[in-house]
Structure 1
Amino acid sequence: MPVPSVDQLQKLREKGEEEAPGPCAQVLASAQFINAHSQDVSVPAQGVQQAAAKILAHMQALNYSPATWKTHALNPQVANDAALEWIFFVDLLNFSFWTTPGTPSHTVTVDGTCYTGYWTLPAAIRRASSEGVDLTDARVYASISRDQWRHVMRSDAEDACLPMLDERLDVAHQAGRVLCDKYGGRFANLLAHCGGSAEHLVQRVVDEFPSFRDTHGFRGRSVALYKRAQILAADVWACFEGQGAGALDVGCLTMFADYRVPQALVHFGALRYSTRLREYLERAEREGGELASGHAWEVEIRGNSVWAVECMRRHIRKTSGSDVSAVLIDFYMWDYAKAHAEEMQAIPIHHTRSLYY
């Protein structure tokens, strides 16, 4: 049976909700299509099986669960409405934290700890709060000035800068205005419209906020990956440990296709790059080269990463009976990649400047 494109799925949706696959189903269908038509990235069956066994054993040994989310010091420790606003703001800007080779690294020091990469954003939120600015308030980020934005998002070093700083401000302004105009300035109100459905939350976010519309052309089809929209639903679920506002059916969510988890998938053997792609990525890391957003290689890496995690999830369920979700596998692999960065240093990541991840 042919896999429908995103455009075809959208037409079904317009005909009637009962016929329409939701956005997460679109991502899975897209990943399957990408896998079937890839030239330089593959998902080896034996590698998937071996990786699934190792990862499940690691997760069980660590008692890895949604509660693990709160073990990160900068994440909200109390599941309340303030946490919801924090999660939305963070996932609104959760993209492109990698440092261009040869340029100063963006760092933010707060409470005596120096943070890099993604964690500079939560660190900046905490630092701004200590300075009297609540960056998680939509009324604030809907209208914050460019000068104040540059101040609250500043790096420790004067010659360093958060990547895509101006683009992030544009995204924050647009999203803040939508929340203020339609949802009383609160993401919690938007979430309340979704009836406990992760699928509906992802769809509403994609519909309302252009920066979440993570779709691309590939082999003549439109494909969807929706990384940030899906991780938004997953973060709400994890923060609330599946209760209250976080009682979302996250089983429909896929892996969140970024640039860090694919590295871990290659490390575990669940993802394989062709020689020419690996050589390109290694050269790009040395020379500061970038892979353009929407390039076939970028789409292959991201789509096959989604498919690899889905295959792992299915294998785990088949062999162990464990109903572990793609969300938890993704969370674990991201944590693993950050904790074992030196060990995986020889595996190149793809560098793409993008709003989507």
Structure 2
Amino acid sequence: MPVVQQCSDAAERVLTSAQFISEHSSDVSVPEDGVRQAAREIMARMKSTGYSTAEWKKHTLTPSVADDAAIEWIFVVDALNFSFWPTRADRAEQYTVSLDGAAYRGYWSLCAAINRAQREGVAITDAHHYAAMTAEQLAHVFRTDDPDTQEPIPMLDERVRVLREAGQVLVEKYGGRFANMVAQCDGSAQRLVELVVRDFPSFRDEHEFAGRSVCLYKRAQILVADVWACFEGRGKGRFADIDCITMFADYRVPQALCHFGALEYSPRLRAHLEQSEAAVRRGDAPVLLPSGHPWEVEIRGNSIWAVERIRQHILAAGTSVNAILIDFYMWDYAKEHADHMRAIPIHHTRSVYY
């Protein structure tokens, strides 16, 4: 099996964790033939669409200007970027935030809620403000369009705790600005991940697997990646070691990896996931995988390793790419082709880590 790229610190821990998980998995595998085919298809698709960091700012909800205000917006969004899968099958009953005539669900509902709050005069990206916000104030920020018919945002209590805790850390250690934290890293993505994981407990995505501590650091890494993408790798978003960042192990990208043939589940795991999906379609509660469950860790760890193997194949073919762009592309692909991938089940875990 190929060895991981030569990075250090956080990125090395994530990649070595992913490789260890892949080597010790019982129910998730990374088929080499599937990886090779996925690499060819993804490379061709990314080339044909000219996929790049510029895609990040094309969405109407993301900041259009790369400045300190954008950095603070990114931090708040990524501090709260976890657990958006719905418990109701009917889209009309799912958590929804509408803005400028468009209805948003999933991750985009969070972005819409933050932007709506800013328009309403809430200083939601000011750490001094959100560190002291009450649960009632934050519940209003994250309100759904129709509370009588739609489910509320998942894990509201955890979001209140995470945001207030993050604000307090920024105020106490970084003058109330995540931009100051970015500046301390001297252009090192890995240093920034290290600081985020050290100072913010909710970003500390670490678990026990096969007798060893493993780390996946989904939100810490995507936080750095979003700053990099917003600035298109320039200025305050220039990180010399950005290619050491891995993919961001959630529940949508594994679905896309299965679609491309780069991830494979055992019959018993597949049966569990299909049972959970069937429950949601019936309107029943899904069959949850607890955070840190061996199956959950296998899915996430093998996803990181599958993207790393895809990246290595694309690099060997002479095309420069990092795991961030592959992840961004696959997440966009999964959202765009959700109906075509409906037969591929996702795992259901309520967690602050993704």
Deviation of 1:21 after TM superposition, in Å, equals 3.6
Q: CA RMSD in A?
A: 1.3
- Matched with 1:130 is 119
- Matched with 2:74 is 87
Q: Do 1:34 and 1:304's aligned partners in 2 also have CA atoms closer than 8 Å?
A: yes
- Matched with 1:117 is 106
Amino acid at match of 1:168: R
- Matched with 2:255 is 263
Q: Which residue of the other structure, out of 199, 215, 218, is the alignment partner of 1:227?
A: 218
- Matched with 1:153 is 142
Q: Which residue of the other structure, out of 36, 41, 48, is the alignment partner of 1:54?
A: 41
Tell me, which stretches of 5 or more residues in structure 1 are unaligned?
Answer: 4-19
- Matched with 1:286 is 278
Q: Does 1:78 align with 2:65?
A: yes
Q: Which residue of the other structure, out of 253, 266, 271, is the alignment partner of 1:274?
A: 266
Cα distance in 2 for residues equivalent to 1:138 and 1:24:
27
| TM-score calculated relative to the size of structure 1 | 0.93
Q: Does 1:37 align with 2:24?
A: yes
- Matched with 1:141 is 130
Amino acid at match of 2:342: Q
Cα distance in 2 for residues equivalent to 1:327 and 1:147:
36
Q: Do 1:86 and 1:136's aligned partners in 2 also have CA atoms closer than 8 Å?
A: yes
SS in 1 for 2:165: helix
Deviation of 1:323 after TM superposition, in Å, equals 1.9
- Using the aligned pairs only, state the percent identity: 63
Q: Which residue of the other structure, out of 12, 24, 27, is the alignment partner of 1:25?
A: 12
Cα distance in 1 for residues equivalent to 2:89 and 2:259:
25
Deviation of 1:101 after TM superposition, in Å, equals 3.9
Cα distance in 2 for residues equivalent to 1:332 and 1:21:
25
- Matched with 2:196 is 205
Q: Deviations over 1:269-319 (max 9, x none)?
A: 00000111111000011222111110000000000000000000001111x
Cα distance in 2 for residues equivalent to 1:52 and 1:76:
31
| TM-score calculated relative to the size of structure 2 | 0.94
Amino acid at match of 1:135: I
SS in 2 for 1:109: strand
Amino acid at match of 2:211: G
- Matched with 1:7 is none
- Matched with 1:328 is 325
Cα distance in 1 for residues equivalent to 2:117 and 2:104:
15
Deviation of 1:137 after TM superposition, in Å, equals 1.1
Cα distance in 2 for residues equivalent to 1:163 and 1:116:
12
Q: Deviations over 1:115-171 (max 9, x none)?
A: 000001110011111211021111121011111111111001214200000110000
Deviating beyond 4 angstroms after TM superposition, the runs of 4 or more aligned structure 1 residues are: none
Cα distance in 2 for residues equivalent to 1:80 and 1:186:
13
- Matched with 1:11 is none
Deviation of 1:102 after TM superposition, in Å, equals 5.5
Amino acid at match of 1:183: Y
Cα distance in 1 for residues equivalent to 2:126 and 2:277:
37
